[in-house]
């Protein structure tokens, strides 16, 4: 059974990693997907993904759009509404990490992480609620992190951005519940992607593995499955929630 037949979904940061897994999963379930990437180096991957999604029988379009730029998000969402008709689901997934102990953390590093991870969620949500309010329905899913709940030495900017997403998510759920717009967050643990490449270098991942009751790192598809649940009517009575998808990780 397809759970998102003919719905229109946006996924930010989907040329690779978790975003790619989410875009694929939503398309497999019948959603038309507009997705973004930001770096020139990901242009080919984005074009390949667009073709892969279209082969699943849905409309798909890749956009090079910086989620940290309010203006670019406005242009992007306007184009999606013009091309696809509306926005039913928005997955704010784009994110970066620039890890450093606070003693060494520069103002630029701090600003980059907050802009890309947190302001991006404001930028996109502000745009997508217009078509959602018109349709009197919508599901917004924000990618937080278990680090935003628990904190982690050397990740203060990342943790702050991801904790900020949780506060934003809960507030938007309160603001827009009466319009039938749901807003939830996912807090992944350690998922195998480019962002966590260090887990496979030497024994770096071993300490973390010991803290994961399920005894392994997560897969992008496991975050995609949770996203599908929240995006579809399977999650119709959930809003303002944070789902930790982390194998029970206790850091
Ligand atoms: P990756 O580094 O593998 O991919 C990040 C994606 O985000 C890329 O497609 C990248 O685009 C895109 N992106 C980065 N900056 C921007 C921007 N300014 N505008 C638009 N797109 C942007 O990361 P993951 O897949 O691992 O992470 C995805 C999300 O999940 C992030 O928010 C991350 O914080 C979160 N997360 C990840 C965890 C993990 O263990 N991997 C754990 C918890 C949370 P491009 O390809 O063009 O560079």
CA–CA gap between residue 174 and residue 171 (Å, rounded): 5
Q: What percent of the chain has pLDDT over 90?
A: 94
- Identify each DSSP E strand in 104-193 by its residue range: 138-143, 181-188
Band of pLDDT at residue 139, cut at 50, 70 and 90: very high
Average pLDDT over residues 131-135: 98
User: Is the pLDDT reported for residue 24 higher than 80?
Assistant: yes
Please write the tens of the pLDDT for every residue from 60-109.
999 999 999 999 999 999 999 999 999 999 999 999 999 999 999 999 99
> Which pTM value belongs to this model?
0.98
Please write the tens of the pLDDT for every residue from 44-74.
999 999 999 999 999 999 999 999 999 999 9
> Can you give the residue ranges of every domain in the chain?
8-245
User: Is the pLDDT reported for residue 28 higher than 90?
Assistant: yes
Determine if residue 160 is labeled as part of a ligand binding site: yes
Average pLDDT over residues 198-207: 82
Q: What does the pLDDT read at residue 199?
A: 83
Q: Average per-residue pLDDT in the chain?
A: 97
User: Is the pLDDT reported for residue 204 higher than 80?
Assistant: no
CATH 3.40.50.720 is right for the domain spanning 8-245 = yes
Distance 218 CA to ligand 1 centre (A): 15
Please name the residues in contact with 227: beta carbons below 8 A apart, sequence gap of 6 or more. Answer: 22, 25, 26, 91, 141, 186
Q: How far is CA 242 from CA 39, 170, 183, 189, in A?
A: 29, 9, 10, 13
Neighbours of 153 (CB within 10 A): 10
Distance 212 CA to ligand 1 centre (A): 22
Q: Which atom of ligand 1 is nearest to the CA of 115?
A: 18
Determine if residue 244 is labeled as part of a ligand binding site: no
What residue ranges line ligand 1, CB within 6 angstroms?
A: 12-19, 36-39, 42, 66-68, 93-96, 116, 143, 145, 188, 190-191, 193-196
Average pLDDT over residues 7-13: 99
Distance 97 CA to ligand 1 centre (A): 9
Q: What does the pLDDT read at residue 251?
A: 67
Task: State the catalytic residues.
Answer: 158
Q: What does the pLDDT read at residue 35?
A: 99
Looking at residue 181, the DSSP 8-state letter turns out to be E
Q: Could you tell me what percentage of the chain is helix, strand and coil, using 3-state DSSP and rounding each to the nearest 5?
A: 50, 15, 35
């Amino acid at each position: 059974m397809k759970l998102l037949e003919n719905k229109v979904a946006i996924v930010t940061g989907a040329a690779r990693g978790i975003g790619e897994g989410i875009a694929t999963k939503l398309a497999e379930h019948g959603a038309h997907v507009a997705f973004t990437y930001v770096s020139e180096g990901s242009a080919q991957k984005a074009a390949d993904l667009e073709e892969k999604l279209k082969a699943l029988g849905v409309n798909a379009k890749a956009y090079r759009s910086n989620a940290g730029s309010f203006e670019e998000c406005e242009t992007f969402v306007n184009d999606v509404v013009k091309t696809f008709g509306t926005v039913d689901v928005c997955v704010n997934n784009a994110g970066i990490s620039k890890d450093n102990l606070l003693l060494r953390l520069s103002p630029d590093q701090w600003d980059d992480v907050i802009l890309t991870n947190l302001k991006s969620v404001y930028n996109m949500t502000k745009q997508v609620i217009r078509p959602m309010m018109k349709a009197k329905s919508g599901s917004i899913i924000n990618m937080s992190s278990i680090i935003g709940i628990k904190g982690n030495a050397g990740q203060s900017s990342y943790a702050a951005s991801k904790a900020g997403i949780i506060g934003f998510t809960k507030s938007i759920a309160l603001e827009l519940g009466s319009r039938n717009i749901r807003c939830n967050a996912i807090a992944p643990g350690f998922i195998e992607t480019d962002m966590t490449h260090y887990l496979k270098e030497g024994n770096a991942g071993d300490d973390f593995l010991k803290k994961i009751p399920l005894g392994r790192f997560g897969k992008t598809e496991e975050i995609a499955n949770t996203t599908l649940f929240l995006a579809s009517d399977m999650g119709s009575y959930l809003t303002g929630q944070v789902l930790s998808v982390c194998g029970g990780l206790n850091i």
